[in-house]
Amino acid sequence: MATPFSSTTSLRSVFQPKQIPPPKALLSIRDYNAGLNCVKCGSTTTHLSSWKSASNYIRIRRHALMLPTQPFQSGNLSKYRRGVIRAATIEEIEAEKALIEKDVRARMEKTIDTVRSSFNSIRTGRANPAMLDKIEVEYYGSPVGLKSIAQISTPDASSLLIQPYDKSSLKSIEKAIVNSNLGMTPNNDGEVIRLTLPQLTSERRKELSKVVAKQAEEGKVAVRNIRRDALKAYDKLEKEKKLSEDNVKDLSSDLQKLTDDYMKKIDVIYKQKEKELLKV
């Protein structure tokens, strides 16, 4: 049975819905000059960025704050400008990621070039001017590359011809070749230097094959070090709240695939060089 209206009962209290108190603000400004404080935990603005990793500006709105009701004074605008916290934009984050990826690729490509150059300097059964790439000559008191002061050609499959631009450097070139441990004796006729490649013995081929294997492993170590540096760069972005943990995992996975690709490239050129060395 319905309860009868009392004379003291207000119609407004019956038909007007119960008012729900407004939600409690997450942030408040305790002191206009002190920054922001969390009502719940009391933390300051120094920890605001740790609540959420933003990729744009974090803008503090009036309905979420207990802002003063008095009008803004022109001289006090600096107090309220603290309500906008600058975070990295998506464009800035993408630019940093692209820069890291570009650096990784460039350094890995350079590593491949270095390994290939080292392989070329090891002689096989056929004459190749690249065998003299690492020869440095003392020229007017400074070490310079042989190719920068002489022209090198291959008259036939088993000999090299070195023609210096300055004939006074012949003695220095001859000395540098003898000290290079290439296993070739230079023939200096006062005009040019001729090098004849002796036949490689089976024992010598095996020794050179070990040298090539060591150089290949050094190249792989260099690639791994490049990967390590990139991972450190990604971790730094994560600590700065510019990348999430999932972002870093995805980027690390892509980086590992790239590293594996360059490892395979080193294996390919190593096997090719080893085949040349062991071919009689």
78-103: average pLDDT: 70
pTM: predicted TM-score of the whole model, two decimal places: 0.56
Q: Using the predicted structure, report yes or no on whether residue 67 has a pLDDT greater than 50.
A: no
DSSP strands (E only) in 104-189 = 136-139, 142-145, 150-156, 159-164, 186-188
pLDDT bracket for residue 35 (50, 70, 90): very low
| Neighbouring-strand partners of residue 188 | 193
Q: What is the pLDDT of residue 183?
A: 73
Q: Which two tokens stand for residue 274?
A: 């080893």
* Residue 197 contacts residue 155 (beta carbons within 8 Å): no
d(CA 101, CA 97): 6
Average pLDDT in the chain: 75
Helices 202-239 & 90-120 angle (0-180, nearest 10): 170
Segment 137-162, tens digit of pLDDT: 999 889 999 999 999 999 888 889 99
Residue 223: pLDDT over 90: yes
Going by pLDDT thresholds of 50, 70 and 90, the confidence category of residue 27 is very low
Range of lowest pLDDT (103-107, 122-126, 201-205): 122-126
pLDDT at 87: 53
Mean pLDDT of 171-182: 87
Q: Beta-strand (E) ranges in 71-215?
A: 84-85, 136-139, 142-145, 150-156, 159-164, 186-188, 193-196
Q: Pick the range with the lowest mean pLDDT from 61-70, 175-184, 204-213, 248-257.
A: 61-70
Pick the more confident residue, 60 or 126. Answer: 126
Q: Token pair of 50, please?
A: 């740790």
Percent of the chain with pLDDT over 70: 68
Apex 68 CA angle, 62 and 70, nearest 5: 120
